[in-house]
Amino acid sequence: MINIKEDERLSVLNHSCAHLLAQAVKHLYPEAKFWVGPVISEGFYYDIDLGDYKITDEDIPKIEHEMKKIAKDGKRIVRHEISKSEALEMFKDDPYKIDLIERMDEDETVISCYTQGDFTDLCRGPHVETVKELKHFKLLKFSGAYFKGDSNNKMLQRIYGVCFETEEDLNAYLKELEEAQERDHRKIGKNLGIFTSHDLVGKGMPLWLPNGAIIRKELENYIYAKEQKLGYKHVYTPCVGTVDLYKTSGHWDHYKENMFPSMKVDEEEFVLRPMNCPHHMLVYANELHSYRDLPIRIGEFATDFRYEASGAVKGLERVRCMCQNDAHLFVRPDQIGEEFKKVVELILDVYHDFGIKNYKFRLSLRDSEDKEKYFDDDKMWNDAEAKLREVLNDLGIPYYEAIGEAAFYGPKLDVEVKPAVGPEVTLSTCQLDFLLPRRFELSYIDSEGKSQIPVVLHRAIFGTFDRFTAFILEETKGALPLWLSPVQVNIIPVNNNYHLEYCEKIKDSLENYRVELDKREEKLSYKMRESVIRKIPVTLIIGQKEVDDNTVSYRMYGSEETKTVSLSDFQKLLEDKIKNKN
């Protein structure tokens, strides 16, 4: 989908359209006060204070109509330059604009504003010549948005829209948008009974429903088996820790704004954990280690809590309570390259199994000029960064480098994917860490009997089960592969009176699979349609011929073709498909 913000011409057009929106709102609601109206990748929005009034669905066409009227009238958009004091005078009734002006530098002597007819807005520009050019737009949605994104501030009304040069471009975009919304995991998750949420539980705290729980269990079994083969040891640790634990790890000083506030129990002060690293450091510290024991790989399906801004939480993709497919790998410095390679190979292996093709590897490195921002050990950084590059080059993986994006404690590799709706997110991650083992005074004994400090690799292949499930629902549009599907086979008797008994027999013989038998007194065509809507991978249609011949007739999701085979061949087919993750 086109990124409006990255297209210069569309960017100007959409920015101008945001002004048009504001002007129309001002005509209809003269009390309206305006905060900011930026261009975003999907078009534009404007944050507006309408007092106590809340925008409704009925307002949107009225605002659009007014926008069309102003556009037709065709006023020129004129730029003026004024001084800061003039600007303060001009916008004196508009507290939000005053806020913006006051924050401008004293020596910013000229401030630009743009006027179209009866409406003037503070703005850097540039804009189109006349409002006449703003004909092909659509208001897309509206929502509440806190002033400056801070939940302590007033809630403003945000209206989103998009503008194109031609009606065809607009329609093509709206069609794409509609398709993306169809793929949105929030919609699929609701339709297929995968997850839900409730205000009483809280924002960003999804409830995984039975169908979702099956998917999650399958994902857990899948990755657990892979990790066992690779020598990971899994643990269980509590999802809280004391504040002192997070002071030791450094999270309390550097990650506090992402954490839930602490709570006191007797003399202890706890926090819900945002990460599992500190617990795993202590698992490592529980025993003495020799250089021969390393790498030690501590894995956990671990629940974490993070404070994500309320406007940022999104379905399963960005939650406040999540479960990481986490592991911390304790290695000697000479093992960094080899262990990193194994993580990257595991990522590739998993993506292959899931048929994930659209992703980008991003290697975040330090800016070696910036001595403040990064852990001070030039040799460690240089060696590690060289090794990471070498591994990626050897594996022939395309990746891009992000200089200055490394964490304070080491370089990292992330995998970025694009959700159906909204900006890119990170799925898998592998982060090198020189610092945490020092903070926890971890050690191993080297071949000469001397104490050495291990390096830690933080890695999550799925990222979180939450985000991965969101992604996989969007990739497959909810039509999951057989092995992951909550219901794998749906058996439909043509006639309950004659064929049910045989259907029961088929169901019994498929006891290793998740099978439903649709006994409802509904029309065959209705039941078959519903099987498709529920995206069940295999539908069996069982009539007299199947009963007489001891066979089954099946249809795979997405195919119109019905095939008839013996029951044993059908079982073999299921077995193969599941084995091949087909």
Question: Would you name the residues annotated as active-site residues?
Answer: 277, 306, 324, 326, 328, 412, 458
Stretch that binds ligand TSB, among 3-11, 237-245, 321-329, 553-561 (CB under 6 A): 321-329
- State in angstroms the smallest separation of the CB of 401 from ligand TSB: 18
Whichever of 114 and 468 has its CB closer to ligand TSB, that residue is 468
Whichever of 48 and 460 has its CB closer to ligand TSB, that residue is 460
User: For residue 97, which of 77, 118, 111 has the smallest C-alpha distance?
Assistant: 111
Whichever of 24 and 323 has its CB closer to ligand TSB, that residue is 323
- Interacting residues with ligand TSB between 470 and 509 (CB under 6 A): none
Amino acid at residue number 363: L
Question: Does an H or E element contain 69, and which?
Answer: helix 59-73
Q: Which of Zn ion, ligand TSB, none lies near 324, with the C-beta cut-off 5 to 8 A by kind?
A: ligand TSB
Helix 567-579, helix 496-509: angle, nearest 10: 50
Site string for ligand TSB, 328-367 (x = CB under 6 A): x---------------------------------------
Return the residue nearest ligand TSB (CB atom): 463
Determine if the peptide bond prior to 278 is cis (ω within 30°): no
- State in angstroms the smallest separation of the CB of 346 from ligand TSB: 13
DSSP 557: T
- State in angstroms the smallest separation of the CB of 441 from Zn ion: 18
Q: Which of ligand TSB, Zn ion, none lies near 467, with the C-beta cut-off 5 to 8 A by kind?
A: ligand TSB
- State in angstroms the smallest separation of the CB of 316 from Zn ion: 21
Amino acid at residue number 266: D
**Does 7 contact ligand TSB by CB under 6 A?**
no
* 7-13 long-range Cβ contacts below 8 angstroms, 24+ apart: 9/165, 10/163, 10/164, 10/165, 11/39, 12/126, 12/127, 12/128, 13/128, 13/133, 13/134, 13/163, 13/164, 13/165
Whichever of 302 and 574 has its CB closer to Zn ion, that residue is 302
Considering only residues 23, 249, 364, 464, which one is a binding residue for ligand TSB as defined by CB under 6 A?
464
CA 497 vs. chain centroid, Å, equals 49
**Does 169 contact ligand TSB by CB under 6 A?**
no
**Cβ-contact 164, 177 below 8 angstroms:** no
Q: CA-based angle 93:94:100, to the nearest 5?
A: 135
Going by DSSP bridges, is the β-strand pair 233-234/296-305 parallel, antiparallel, or unpaired?
parallel
Q: Which of Zn ion, ligand TSB, none lies near 534, with the C-beta cut-off 5 to 8 A by kind?
A: none
Question: Half-sphere exposure of residue 571, counting CA atoms within 13 Å on the CB side?
Answer: 11
- State in angstroms the smallest separation of the CB of 111 from Zn ion: 46
Which residues are bridge partners to 327 per DSSP?
299, 459
**Does 308 contact ligand TSB by CB under 6 A?**
yes
Whichever of 392 and 460 has its CB closer to ligand TSB, that residue is 460
Structure-block tokens of residue 372: 């403040």
Give me the residue label for tokens 């550097």: 254
Site string for ligand TSB, 250-289 (x = CB under 6 A): -------------------------x-x------------
Q: How far apart are CA 491 and CA 494, in angstroms?
A: 10
User: For residue 527, which of 482, 536, 503, 209 has the smallest C-alpha distance?
Assistant: 536
Considering only residues 77, 134, 194, 460, which one is a binding residue for ligand TSB as defined by CB under 6 A?
460
- State in angstroms the smallest separation of the CB of 232 from ligand TSB: 13
Considering only residues 138, 273, 366, 459, which one is a binding residue for ligand TSB as defined by CB under 6 A?
459
Where do the H-state alpha helices sit in 299-424?
336-354, 378-395
The burial class, CB within 10 Å (0-12 / 13-18 / 19+), for 512 is exposed
SS3 label, residue 208: strand
For ligand TSB (CB under 6 A), the number of binding residues is 20
Whichever of 291 and 375 has its CB closer to ligand TSB, that residue is 375
Whichever of 64 and 416 has its CB closer to ligand TSB, that residue is 416
Considering only residues 303, 426, 476, 564, which one is a binding residue for ligand TSB as defined by CB under 6 A?
426
Q: How far apart are CA 101 and CA 196, in angstroms?
A: 43
Q: How far apart are CA 473 and CA 467, in angstroms?
A: 10
Determine if the peptide bond prior to 126 is cis (ω within 30°): yes
Query: By the criterion CB under 5 A, which residues form the site for Zn ion?
Result: 277, 458
For the chain, the C-alpha Rg in angstroms (whole number) is: 29
**Does 429 contact ligand TSB by CB under 6 A?**
yes
Whichever of 177 and 427 has its CB closer to ligand TSB, that residue is 427
User: For residue 337, which of 450, 430, 440 has the smallest C-alpha distance?
Assistant: 430
Stretch that binds ligand TSB, among 144-152, 167-175, 320-328, 336-344 (CB under 6 A): 320-328
Structure-block tokens of residue 12: 């100007």
- State in angstroms the smallest separation of the CB of 449 from Zn ion: 30
Q: Which of Zn ion, ligand TSB, none lies near 24, with the C-beta cut-off 5 to 8 A by kind?
A: none
Considering only residues 47, 184, 326, 474, which one is a binding residue for ligand TSB as defined by CB under 6 A?
326
Question: Does an H or E element contain 372, and which?
Answer: none
Q: Which of ligand TSB, Zn ion, none lies near 442, with the C-beta cut-off 5 to 8 A by kind?
A: none
**Does 324 contact ligand TSB by CB under 6 A?**
yes
Question: Does an H or E element contain 165, and which?
Answer: none
By the criterion CB under 6 A, which residues form the site for ligand TSB? 275, 277, 306, 308, 318-319, 322, 324, 326, 328, 426-427, 429, 458-460, 463-464, 466-467
